[in-house]
Structure 1
Amino acid sequence: MLQHQIVSREQWLVARKAHLAHEKELSQARERLVAERRALPWVKVDKNYVFDGPNGKVTLGDLFKGRPQLVVQHVMFTPDWEAACKSCSFWVDGFDRMVPHLAARDTSMVAISLAPVTKLEAFKARMGWSFDWVSSGHNGFNYDYEVSFTQAQIDKGVPRYNFGATPFYGPELPGISVFYRTEAGEIFHTYSCFARGIDMMNAAYQYLDLTPLGRHEDGLPYPMDWVRLRDEYQPQAAKGACCHG
């Protein structure tokens, strides 16, 4: 059994209310951070990016679907892979059903990867996903928004991922980018986040953070070693408390 302090309901409420004060501090800090994020300056997108979609060529402007805002999930999936990154898929499982809710608030969402659209569609069908997913394999979008890197960049050893805060450790890395489109059709890049910055968008992790065991990743070769594609988990019997002692 987990070794933990056991108290009365009244004692628990005292501790919980003390923790609530800290949660409120974090919520208020987050609100300030969100306001600061909205106030960031924008960069005009001058390149005419054309992507391969399941129904043919589409531009970056097309991906907005007539809405002013676009969120791009950069999903790691190189042309020579047969499946998308398992960790990126962990995130994607969470946002798939969110798309209609975002659309109701003038925001479109799309996944973009380097792999050809035939592979994207096949994997999308396997996972039962319904969101839009296009290929950037014939343009420089992934490289311009610094989620894909050439071997020459990696060999040079100058960190560019996460605004230079994280060294290279592979040709593909995850991220999220946000764009705004004016009524005149001008497109602006407003925000990107990478590495731990995308952590907040994983609902499963946020739920695990509420539990006594948390993410339960200590002792693994790397934190997300346990993650599998949704259809590759082996059925497991429920574990009793004695299994943690």
Structure 2
Amino acid sequence: MPEHRIGTQEEFDAARQELLAEEKELTRRGDELTRKRRELPWVPVEKDYGFQTEDGNKSLADLFDGRSQLLIYHFMFGPPYEAGCPVCSSIADTLDPNVIHLKARDVTLICSSRAPLDKLLAYRERMGWSLDWVSTVGSDFHRDLGFLHTEEELRPFLEGEIPPTVSQMAEATGTDVAGYVTEGPGLSAYAFSDGTVYRTYITSARGLEPAMAYYGLLDRTPMGRHEEGEETHWLRRHDEYGKT
């Protein structure tokens, strides 16, 4: 544990009150961003995307499952992968128990990946999840949203010094670095109104942190995330902690 300033209860209470005011301001700012997020223009989805599901082939409109809103987590599990991305798996750990609550608010939440459906369902069983998971028919869906890249596009990165965490994640998914990084994570949102599907929101990278509940909790611990200087990522699939 690193050295830290020690104070009295009175000093703590005073500093905590100052911090609380800033936390409340951040919450208000978050509410404002949420309002602006909802005010983004809706874009009609005109391409005829296809998906393989446990119940056969479906369209994007079919994935709403009778509801008016749809959230899709774009899970990094490419065709050459032998297992899902550990970071995406940690996100699915958060998403899975929230599916039932979102349904109560007219929202369907699913995962989408490019790997064959049988691979996805086998991995879902291993992880103990119950959320619906679909396999894209072709590459357009993830590609059009910016969650799939070609090796040519990634060549400057691939020809440089590969960060150890990337090599670690590639090995964990059973593929090479190029096969791993061509896939990307993301979240996209849709509305279904008067027979038309609209794309209403999209995010990736740190925009996914609301689905990484452990970071919000770590941010409130004495040492925080404590990731600086680590050459490998501490995250593991939930059934791998404690393994050597």
* TM-score normalised over the length of structure 1: 0.86
- Residue by residue over 1:4-55, the C-alpha shift from the partner in whole angstroms, topping out at 9 and shown as x without a partner, is 2222222211110010011011111111111111111111000121101122
- Residue by residue over 1:82-135, the C-alpha shift from the partner in whole angstroms, topping out at 9 and shown as x without a partner, is 101011111111111000101111111010000000000000000000000000
2:50/2:137 contact within 8 Å kept: no
Question: Which runs of no fewer than 5 residues in structure 2 stay unpaired?
Answer: 158-177
Q: Quote the residue 1:162 is aligned against.
A: none
Q: Quote the residue 2:64 is aligned against.
A: 64
Using the alignment, how far apart are the partners of 2:152 and 2:229 within structure 1? 34
* TM-score normalised over the length of structure 2: 0.86
Say how many residue pairs are matched: 223
AA matched with 1:228: R
Q: Quote the residue 2:181 is aligned against.
A: 170
The root-mean-square deviation of aligned C-alpha atoms, in Å, is 2.0
1:113/1:137 contact within 8 Å kept: no
Using the alignment, how far apart are the partners of 1:128 and 1:60 within structure 2? 25
Per-residue deviation at 1:2?
Answer: 3.2
Structure 2 residue 243 is matched with structure 1 residue 232: no
Q: Quote the residue 1:77 is aligned against.
A: 77
AA matched with 2:106: D
Per-residue deviation at 1:64?
Answer: 0.6
AA matched with 1:191: Y
Using the alignment, how far apart are the partners of 1:155 and 1:135 within structure 2? 27
Distance 1:91 1:29, change over 3 A: same
Q: Quote the residue 1:160 is aligned against.
A: none
Q: Quote the residue 1:180 is aligned against.
A: 191
2:49/2:137 contact within 8 Å kept: no
Structure 2 residue 198 is matched with structure 1 residue 206: no
Q: Quote the residue 1:107 is aligned against.
A: 107
- Residue by residue over 1:176-232, the C-alpha shift from the partner in whole angstroms, topping out at 9 and shown as x without a partner, is 0001101x220000110011111232111111111011111111126xx11111111
- Residue by residue over 1:121-177, the C-alpha shift from the partner in whole angstroms, topping out at 9 and shown as x without a partner, is 0000000000000001435111111101223443599xxxxxxxxxx9920111100
Most deviating of 126-135 and 212-221: 212-221
2:205 to 181, 195, 199: 195
1:49/1:139 contact within 8 Å kept: no
Structure 2 residue 5 is matched with structure 1 residue 5: yes
In the TM superposition, 1:79-94 aligns within 5 A as: 79-94=79-94
Structure 2 residue 31 is matched with structure 1 residue 31: yes
Using the alignment, how far apart are the partners of 1:191 and 1:66 within structure 2? 20
Distance 1:2 1:152, change over 3 A: closer
Question: Which runs of no fewer than 5 residues in structure 1 stay unpaired?
Answer: 158-167, 237-245
Q: Point out 4+ residue stretches in structure 1 off by more than 6 angstroms.
A: none
- Percent of matched pairs sharing the same residue: 42
AA matched with 1:117: L
Using the alignment, how far apart are the partners of 1:21 and 1:144 within structure 2? 42
- Residue by residue over 1:52-93, the C-alpha shift from the partner in whole angstroms, topping out at 9 and shown as x without a partner, is 112211111111111111000000001111101011111111
